Amino acid sequence: MTIFKKIIDHEIPADIVYEDDQCLAFRDISPQAPTHILVIPKKEITAVDALTEEDQMLVGHIFLVIQKIAKDEGLTDGFRVVTNNGQNACQTVPHLHFHLLGGRPFGWPPG
């Protein structure tokens, strides 16, 4: 069981900013920007490369939730959405998650 599953099940505390029947969003405990929120599906999917065709609606829903959270957080000057896939991309929790980052300028290319 991952730490994200424990957060989904409310077994450990998190600063939850959004929750519905499909996903949950909470503030990162080690923020890399003034706004750093993780958005995760409640369905246990390990990574982007584990997505299936049946997950299309779920991922679309998550991106609409990200849009809503960004608006609610006042990220009017832009924001970044990052998803790491696998160890070489620094994915540290084997549960699909999207980092919503904002509140400061970002450089390119990342990492």
Torsion from C-alpha of 77, 80, 58, 46, nearest 10 degrees: -160
> Is pLDDT at 81 greater than 90 in this prediction?
yes
In a domain? residue 10: yes
Pick the residue with more confidence: 55 or 111? Answer: 55
> Is pLDDT at 111 greater than 80 in this prediction?
no
Q: For residue range 29-45, what is the model confidence (pLDDT) as tens digits? A: 999 999 999 999 999 99
95 counts as catalytic: no
| Count of domains observed in the chain | 1
> Is pLDDT at 88 greater than 70 in this prediction?
yes
Residues 6+ apart with CB under 8 A from 25: 16, 17, 18, 19, 37, 38, 39, 40, 65, 69, 100
DSSP string, 38-55: EEEESS---SGGG--GGG
Identify the CA nearest to 97 among candidates 45, 61, 53: 45
> Is pLDDT at 89 greater than 80 in this prediction?
yes
In a domain? residue 110: no
In a domain? residue 93: yes
Note down the domain range covering 75. Answer: 3-102
Q: Which of 10, 36, 95, 97 is catalytic?
A: 97
pLDDT band (50, 70, 90) for residue 110: confident
Averaged pLDDT score across all residues of the chain? 96
In a domain? residue 109: no
Range 73-87 average pLDDT: 96
Q: What is the CATH number of the domain that holds 13?
A: 3.30.428.10
Q: Can you list the alpha helix ranges (DSSP code H) found in the chain? A: 3-8, 56-72
